[in-house]
């Protein structure tokens, strides 16, 4: 028996060692120099920022690609890859000249031809890009560094479009990459941005590795928002894939990672107590909660019933239930985000102060028959989980019957594509949220589109708001644009197209020895120092 045991133990030991040898991979040498370890909200799986609207993929884009224009910390659009640009007197010919010394990661120069191909691919996928392309008559390459965008008629959002900060961002790619079918993912990760993606070291689900691009020539201006000099002050950045938020917090407290994009609000008190870390308000515009109605099926096909629902909304209830700490939220009845040029308060305290009696009267007038509205609740995105119970309570106070159905986010995003009534697997209402940078004007705000089937889920149809959006797009006078933005917001409230139910902020976390995290709509890793 002893022999058997010895043999067994020896076999186990040998097996362990052998398995170690078998499974050993010949990984590269450990990182040298200063390495910044960063944890994002979600796993980076798709590396084509034009193919998906996922924010983690957008962040990846900012590492390796550059943009023709970019917004500064005041959301003003500034030239980035572009040295200079000119507009013809009739505002139909835009001429862009690239900066000297721009190079792709493989050493080839960035050309006007590359940029034209990149704009075309982006314009085939992004809503704001599609709008721009509706106005584009043709592109002309003037020389290696200069190209023209010839418009059919003046368009007021040329620079806003090319400097669009959030998904999907018009990143510049080499022509051979940008020529990829817009509905297929690209295979190459060659850009001209301040970091170079390390394909061999990156392991999806584990980490993604970027090294400093030694040939990148930053602009001379100081970094501001997503514009200015993108000076990289570390040798390498590793995106660590860590889905468990508690684990992210443990890891940063233990000094194993340097930055977290956005920890959940309920863990912020733990972080505040630790002197080794600090909260960083890198995204001062924050986010906005949305309530979206299905305009195709009863009862929200009736505008009066949608209006009754909006009359029941009270932003503070949502914000208290989801975010909690008042320092991280703002009651804001402006569709295009408070603190921006297009911010206007909603009239009569709408969305801020509910009027349940008026809502009940509207329901009666509209002939609401008491059929329960199906409210989809996501239980897997912590920041959204508590929005649906608040809606249920508010709508019930207004006289609705509500059938709240809980599901994971992936099920919700699948079900929201269904146009059938709830009895056939459809839905009536759900919540989502947007990064504020995506909803700063009537064109980039997908919830404002009211073109039926071409609209975002909920599929509203409203020629009036579409006319206003078109006018906004064509208008080149900023003051007139503001008035048009207000008119769009007023119309959206009048028809109760959707509801914006609170602005909130999610600070990032950095180790105390990490400085220089820029204020921008996107977490960017240039300018950051690790001491």
Partner 1 sequence: MLDFIARRLIAIIPVLAVVAIFVFLMLRLTPGDPAAVIAGDNATSDQIADIRAKLGLNEPIWTQFAIWIGDILQGKFGESYFFKKTVAELIAQRVEPTLALALCTLAFAVCVSVPIGVMAAYRQGSLFDRVVMAFSVLGFSVPGFVIGYCLIYVFAIELGWLPVQGYVRIGVNFWQFAERMVLPSLTLSVGFIALISRITRASVLEVLNEDYIRTARAKGLSNRVVLMRHALRNAAVPILTVIGLGIAILIGGAVVTESVFGLPGLGRLTVEAVLSRDFPTIQTVILLFSVVYVVINLLIDISYTLFDPRIRY
Fill in the per-residue mask, 184 to 203: x = in contact with partner 1 (CB under 8 A), - = not in contact.
xx-x---------------x
Q: Which region, judged by CB under 8 A, interacts with partner 1, from 82-90, 143-151, 415-423, 486-494?
A: 415-423
Q: Are 123 and 129 in contact (CB under 8 A)?
A: yes
30 Cβ neighbours under 8 A, 6+ residues apart: none
From candidates 62, 69, 318, 456, binder to partner 1 by CB under 8 A: 456
User: Is 138 one of the binding residues for partner 1 (CB under 8 A)?
Assistant: no
With CB under 8 A as the rule, give the number of residues binding partner 1.
69
Fill in the per-residue mask, 316 to 355: x = in contact with partner 1 (CB under 8 A), - = not in contact.
----------------------------------------
Closest by CA position to 258, among listed 228, 287, 280: 280
76 Cβ neighbours under 8 A, 6+ residues apart: none
Nearer to partner 1 by Cβ, of 254 and 369: the residue is 254
- Binding to partner 1 (CB under 8 A) within 41-100 occurs at 43, 45-47, 52-54, 57
How many beta carbons lie within 10 A of that of residue 204, not counting itself?
Answer: 12
Nearer to partner 1 by Cβ, of 20 and 463: the residue is 20
Instruction: Tell me the CB-side half-sphere exposure of residue 199, using CA atoms within 13 A.
Output: 6
From candidates 4, 90, 100, 143, binder to partner 1 by CB under 8 A: 4
Fill in the per-residue mask, 369 to 408: x = in contact with partner 1 (CB under 8 A), - = not in contact.
-----------x--------------------------xx
DSSP for residue 372: P
Quote the Cα angle for 141-62-48, to 5°.
Answer: 75
Q: Which region, judged by CB under 8 A, interacts with partner 1, from 97-105, 143-151, 311-319, 454-462?
A: 454-462
Nearer to partner 1 by Cβ, of 94 and 456: the residue is 456
From candidates 16, 74, 88, 348, binder to partner 1 by CB under 8 A: 16
**Helix 387-397 vs helix 315-322: angle between axes, to the nearest 10 degrees?**
150
CB of residue 257 vs partner 1: minimum separation in angstroms? 9
Cα 63 from Cα 86, distance rounded (Å): 28
Q: What is the largest CA-CA distance in the chain?
A: 97
Q: Which region, judged by CB under 8 A, interacts with partner 1, from 75-83, 101-109, 214-222, 241-249?
A: 241-249
Map 200-225 to HEC letters: CCCECCCEEEEEECCCCCCCCCCCEC
Nearer to partner 1 by Cβ, of 26 and 220: the residue is 26
CB of residue 438 vs partner 1: minimum separation in angstroms? 7
Nearer to partner 1 by Cβ, of 292 and 314: the residue is 292
How many beta carbons lie within 10 A of that of residue 194, not counting itself?
Answer: 24
Cα 195 from Cα 210, distance rounded (Å): 6
Nearer to partner 1 by Cβ, of 369 and 453: the residue is 453
User: CA separation (Å) from 13 to 8, 18, 20, 22, 361?
Assistant: 9, 8, 11, 14, 78
User: Is 36 one of the binding residues for partner 1 (CB under 8 A)?
Assistant: no
Cα 38 from Cα 237, distance rounded (Å): 7
The full DSSP string for 442-470 is TTT-GGG--BGGGSSTT--B-HHHHHHHH
CB of residue 90 vs partner 1: minimum separation in angstroms? 33
From candidates 6, 410, 420, 477, binder to partner 1 by CB under 8 A: 410
Nearer to partner 1 by Cβ, of 36 and 487: the residue is 36
What b/e readout covers 225-260, taking b as 16+ CB neighbours within 10 angstroms?
bbbbebbbebebbbbbbbeebeebbebbbeeebbbb
Place of tokens 């509205």: 373
User: Is 270 one of the binding residues for partner 1 (CB under 8 A)?
Assistant: no
264 Cβ neighbours under 8 A, 6+ residues apart: 245, 382, 383
User: Is 183 one of the binding residues for partner 1 (CB under 8 A)?
Assistant: yes
Fill in the per-residue mask, 160 to 179: x = in contact with partner 1 (CB under 8 A), - = not in contact.
-------xx-----------
Nearer to partner 1 by Cβ, of 208 and 330: the residue is 208
Burial category of 381 from C-beta neighbours within 10 Å (exposed 0-12, middle 13-18, buried 19 and up): middle
User: Is 273 one of the binding residues for partner 1 (CB under 8 A)?
Assistant: no
Strand extents, DSSP E, 2-159: 35-39, 66-67, 69-71, 77-79, 82-87, 93-98, 136-141, 146-151
Nearer to partner 1 by Cβ, of 8 and 88: the residue is 8
CB of residue 205 vs partner 1: minimum separation in angstroms? 5
Nearer to partner 1 by Cβ, of 346 and 443: the residue is 443
Helices (H), 315-379: 315-322, 356-366
Binding site for partner 1 (CB under 8 A): 1-2, 4-5, 12, 15-16, 19-20, 23-28, 30, 43, 45-47, 52-54, 57, 125, 127, 167-168, 183-185, 187, 203-207, 240-244, 246-247, 250-251, 253-254, 256, 380, 407-408, 410-411, 413-417, 432, 434, 438, 446, 453-457, 459
């Amino acid at each position: 028996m002893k022999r058997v045991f010895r043999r067994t133990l020896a076999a186990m030991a040998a097996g362990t060692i052998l398995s170690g040898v078998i499974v050993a991979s010949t990984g590269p040498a450990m990182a040298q120099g200063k390495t910044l370890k960063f944890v994002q909200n979600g796993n980076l799986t798709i590396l084509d920022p034009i193919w998906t609207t996922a924010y983690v993929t957008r962040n990846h884009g900012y590492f390796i690609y550059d943009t023709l224009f970019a917004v500064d910390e005041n959301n003003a659009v500034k030239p980035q890859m572009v040295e200079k640009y000119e507009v013809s007197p009739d505002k139909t010919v835009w001429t862009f000249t690239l900066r000297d010394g721009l190079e792709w990661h493989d050493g080839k120069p960035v050309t006007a031809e590359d940029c034209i191909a990149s704009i075309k691919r982006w314009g085939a996928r992004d809503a704001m890009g599609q709008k721009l392309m509706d106005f584009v008559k043709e592109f002309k390459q003037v020389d290696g560094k200069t190209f023209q965008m010839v418009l059919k008629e003046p368009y007021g959002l040329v620079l806003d479009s090319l400097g669009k900060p959030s998904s999907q961002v018009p990143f510049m790619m080499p022509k051979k990459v940008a020529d990829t079918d817009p509905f297929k993912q690209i295979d190459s990760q060659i850009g001209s941005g301040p970091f170079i993606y390390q394909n061999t070291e990156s392991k999806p689900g584990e980490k993604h590795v970027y090294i400093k691009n030694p040939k990148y020539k930053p602009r001379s201006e100081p970094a501001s928002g997503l514009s200015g000099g993108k000076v990289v002050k570390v040798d390498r950045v590793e995106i660590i894939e860590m889905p468990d938020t508690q684990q992210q917090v443990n890891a940063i407290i233990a000094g194993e990672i340097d930055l977290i994009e956005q920890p959940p609000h309920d863990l912020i008190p733990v972080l505040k107590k630790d002197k080794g870390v600090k909260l960083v308000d890198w995204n001062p515009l924050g986010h906005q909660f949305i309530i979206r109605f299905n305009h195709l099926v009863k009862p929200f096909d009736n505008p009066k019933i949608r209006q009754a629902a909006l009359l029941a909304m009270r932003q503070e209830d949502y914000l208290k239930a989801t975010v909690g700490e008042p320092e991280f939220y703002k009651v804001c009845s402006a569709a295009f985000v408070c603190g921006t040029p297009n911010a206007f308060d909603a009239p009569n305290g709408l969305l801020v102060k509910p009027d349940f009696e008026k809502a009940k009267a509207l329901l009666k007038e509209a002939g609401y028959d008491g059929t329960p509205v199906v409210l989809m609740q996501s239980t897997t995105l912590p920041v959204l989980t508590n929005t649906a119970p608040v809606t249920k309570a508010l709508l019930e106070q207004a006289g609705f019957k509500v059938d709240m159905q809980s599901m994971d986010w992936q099920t919700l995003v699948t079900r929201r594509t269904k146009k059938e009534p709830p009895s056939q697997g459809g839905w009536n209402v759900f919540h989502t949220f947007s990064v504020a940078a995506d909803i700063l004007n009537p064109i980039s705000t997908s919830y404002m589109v009211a073109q039926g089937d071409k609209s975002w889920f909920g599929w509203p149809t409203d020629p009036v708001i579409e006319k206003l959006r078109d006018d906004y797009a064509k208008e080149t006078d900023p003051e007139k644009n503001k008035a048009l933005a207000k008119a769009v917001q007023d119309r959206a409230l009048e028809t109760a197209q959707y509801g914006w139910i609170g602005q909130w902020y999610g600070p990032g976390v950095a180790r105390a020895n990490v400085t220089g995290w820029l204020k921008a709509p996107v977490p960017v890793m240039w300018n950051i120092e690790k001491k």
